[in-house]
Amino acid sequence: MISLISLRPYLLRAFYNWLLDNHLTPYILVNSNMPNVQVPLEHERGGQIILNISPTAIHSFNLTNDKVCFNARFNGLLRHVSLPILAIVSIYSCENGIGIIFEPEIFVNNPQSKNIKNKNKFINTIESINGNFSQNIKKDDDTSLTIKPLQSNKRTILRLVK
């Protein structure tokens, strides 16, 4: 059997470039329970964190087939962020929610999948009606996380629905 390289880094790179070309702000949703995820844990909520990865928000951005690394300021402090590609759940536009939600990639021959702390399966839905966007990421334990885009100068609203 042929071992295929993950499609995720290529799609992530394509959406990232497309969002920037259209003057949109790329955000990523990260599963912070995955091994080797280095993010400021004080900003993590429910095992997930949303990160602005626009060039104005980050420095030293490096996207490889295995991980995403960059430096960013959190509450004024410069922090290094390192994310395995498999930890990235979605990439989307802050302004209108256009993006992609990645399916979990758990393969027998994938060494990262053996060390996953929280193997929740994600069932994803995206709704966009007349520019209104909401994204629900439902987990096995009957909870869902709703993400709404920034409007004006408001912060992202996360709400855990049980």
- Structure confidence by residue, pLDDT tens digits, 62-101: 999 999 999 999 998 999 999 999 999 999 999 999 999 9
Q: Are 31 and 37 in contact (CB under 8 A)?
A: yes
Q: How confident is the model at residue 104 (pLDDT cuts 50, 70, 90)?
A: confident
All domains of the chain in start order, with CATH:
8-114 (2.30.30.220)
Q: How confident is the model at residue 145 (pLDDT cuts 50, 70, 90)?
A: very low
Q: In this predicted structure, what is the pLDDT of residue 160?
A: 63
- Based on its alpha-carbon atoms, the radius of gyration of the chain, rounded to whole angstroms, reads 15
- Structure confidence by residue, pLDDT tens digits, 5-24: 888 999 999 999 999 999 99
pTM to 2 decimal places: 0.65
